[in-house]
Amino acid sequence: MAAVVGVLALQGSYNEHMAALRRIGAKGVEVRKPEQLLGLDSLIIPGGESTTMAKLADYHNLFPALREFVSAGKPVWGTCAGLIFLANKAVGQKSGGQELVGGLDCTVHRNFFGSQLQSFETELPVPMLAEKEGGSLTCRGVFIRAPAILEVGPHVEVLADCPVPTITSGKGLEDEVYSKDRVIVAVRQGDILATAFHPELTSDSRWHRLFLAMDKDSQARSLAALSLSVSSSEPEIVSKNKPLDLPIFE
């Protein structure tokens, strides 16, 4: 039986996450209303524009259900704006701030790497991803007006960091923030995964596979807690040669 993953579909790159899930034989379900979270075991919060996404989430009364989902310990992966959503604290916000879902013990800077024009791609060393999912020791990091994580709590595992580009480095606003050489761009805290970049825009499926493995582990734990036997069904892996259904960077 294929895994079913919820994808918050208010705004941003949710179609790309749905396509990335299809490429590895998992089923994505678009989530726009609180009741659509019921019965789901895991959720991806995509990148986009976090203020707009927060306004839409508020309009649909999604915040309480999203917080409940996270605090129930169900696997949640935030990419870019999704990472901002999951952070306990965000800086660099528009005046008045914005509502966050929270749960991830970190401070995130919303537009750390600058404006849309300072978007960039880089090869990121990701030893944990290579260890768990095989393949290259690096992954392609697509950073689009990207946030960065400035501080993490003691239970947060840092999965990737990245040098601060010189264009950002030393740039005024919050001196102690920009004086760092490197910033954190991928973390895991228990069943929460967060990346400041966009794996769904690349052909590297390892982040989505890692998230599915988290989902599977969490379901196995729930079943074990209920003293039920766990089925060994694996999600069907679709051939790598399958034509891609949305444009991505190869």
Ligand X SMILES: NC(=O)CC[C@H](N)C(=O)O
Active site positions, annotated: 80, 198, 200
User: Which of 3/184 has CB closer to ligand X?
Assistant: 184
Token representation of residue 237 = 């892996």
Query: Helix, strand or coil for residue 12?
Result: coil
User: Which of 112/211 has CB closer to ligand X?
Assistant: 112
Alpha-carbon gap, residue 164 to 135, rounded angstroms: 26
How many residues are listed for the chain in this entry?
250
User: Which of 115/241 has CB closer to ligand X?
Assistant: 115
For residue 110, the minimal CB distance to ligand X (Å) is 4
User: What one-letter code names the amino acid at 116?
Assistant: Q
Phi and psi angles of residue 111, each rounded to the nearest 5 degrees, phi first: -125, 50
For residue 142, the minimal CB distance to ligand X (Å) is 9
Residue 63 burial class via C-beta count within 10 angstroms: exposed 0-12, middle 13-18, buried 19 and up: middle
For residue 12, the minimal CB distance to ligand X (Å) is 6
For residue 241, the minimal CB distance to ligand X (Å) is 30
Token representation of residue 64 = 């309480």
The footprint of ligand X (CB under 6 A) covers 47-50, 80-81, 84, 110-111, 144-147
For residue 202, what are the CA distances in angstroms to 16, 24, 38?
Answer: 9, 13, 30
User: Which of 81/86 has CB closer to ligand X?
Assistant: 81
Residue found by looking up tokens 């807690």 in the block? 225
Token representation of residue 163 = 């040098």
